[in-house]
A = this chain, B = another copy of it.
């Protein structure tokens, strides 16, 4: 392992700077994928890649790559580091950005120190990892890994009716490269944990050995609009009440589950959405996860059965559509070990763990040995402006990333 270290100040400064870009009038960070706000972040990132003397490449799904190569190693499958810089609505500043900027930081530090890797090292920022505007999440890395047809992905319709491909063109990030034009030798992603485990156990580094399965669905319930004052309870076909039954069912079932299943309804809309009109339609999304594919399938089946019963008993019709479905992923054992070794060498506490969030590493694992490094998230809070990781943890994680990257690039 290398004894080189990253510049903690430069890394922290960039995270702060990127976190100021893409704020709405209320001050919320809303760099949702391929928006004008996302463009601001992308432009700044590309500027940093250029300042660092890296080759910049953008592929047709808008993934951005900063490539460090020279005559001695060009053409070798590269070590890839990365994550994403798109955000959720009202996001924190670490989710994704930390991994991307730490990747750049690792490369810059190695470059500045005169390190001579046997392979190129690449930092990647993948498009639409969050999936809040376009489903599925991890779209850029999924397309890059060949898991989804490019044209289909470019045709994705956003929550605001926009078309992803058109938006990429509009913001100037519809690149020329074919997704997958780089064949990674290995992929390492550093990320804030976004959960409570590391903080609770007082551990500095998570060596992520697997990642739970994700099932996203959009549910549309159709009932009958009628007058809120004149329609007896027994004569109602209330789409809103039916939606509430589904939300309660999911929360109760996941809470009672012996497995670590989680279920979330994050979005909802009623139609016509008027105070004295029984909702004729309720549209909402379900995010269901479990580290065990069998359990995840059981949850999906229980939900489907509940919905069937509800449709019959509540006089509504229910349409369910899958927006994303990813099986649990097991990461590469050697890279996980390299992370542990790096932590041990640096005198940092470390544990193996599962990722509750979806990550680009989950997609790149289809085409290259991959693993992830986690650092603690204060209070386990993420997807919230209160998301926070202390500078000492940020620097520690980035140093482990640098070490693992240097080791892999020496192969």
Contacts and interface: CB of A to CB of B under 8 A. Distances in A.
Interface of A: 28, 88-90, 130-132, 135, 137, 193-196, 212, 214, 216, 224-235, 238, 240-241, 243-245, 247-248, 251, 254-255, 257, 260-280, 285, 287, 289, 323, 355-358, 380-384
A226 B132 contact: no
B254 A131 contact: no
Contact of A260 (B137, B232, B245, B382): B232
A262 B214 CA distance: 39
Contact of A262 (B193, B229, B255, B355): B229
Given A228-B287, A276-B266, A276-B287, A248 B254 contact: no
A267 B262 contact: no
B262 A238 contact: no
B266 A278 contact: yes
Contact of A251 (B131, B241, B265, B382): B241
Question: Oligomeric state, in number of copies?
Answer: 2
A231 B266 CA distance: 13
A228 B286 CA distance: 10
A138 to B, nearest CB: 11
Given A241-B247, A248-B248, A272 B233 contact: no
Contacts of A262: 228-229, 231-233
Contacts of A265: 240-241, 244, 279
Contacts of A254: 233
A289 B276 CA distance: 11
A90 B272 contact: yes
Given A212-B229, A227-B356, A229-B355, 9 more contacts: A131-B276, A224-B381, A226-B381, A240-B265, A241-B265, A264-B278, A265-B279, A276-B358, A277-B383
Q: Is the interface of A mostly helix, strand, loop or mixed?
A: loop
B229 A287 contact: yes
Given A89-B272, A137-B276, A278-B264, A194 B232 contact: no
Contact of A131 (B234, B257, B275): B275
A306 to B, nearest CB: 14
Given A227-B357, A264-B278, A277-B89, A244 B233 contact: no
Contacts of A243: 244, 247
B274 A226 contact: no
A275 B215 CA distance: 11
A24 to B, nearest CB: 11
Given A241-B251, A248-B248, A262-B233, A226 B277 contact: no
B270 A268 contact: yes
A54 to B, nearest CB: 31
B382 A274 contact: no
Contacts of A270: 266-268
A361 to B, nearest CB: 14
B287 A358 contact: no
B88 A272 contact: yes
A266 B274 contact: yes
6 contacts: A88-B272, A216-B276, A226-B383, A227-B357, A240-B268, A241-B247
Per CB-CB distance, the 3 closest pairs between chain A and chain B, nearest first, are A195-B230, A230-B356, A244-B247
Contacts of A244: 243-245, 247-248, 251, 265
Contacts of A274: 88-89, 130, 132, 266-267, 383
Nearest to A382: B227
B380 A323 contact: no
Contacts of A193: 230
A263 B275 CA distance: 11
Contact of A241 (B233, B248, B273): B248
A275 to B, nearest CB: 4
B267 A195 contact: no
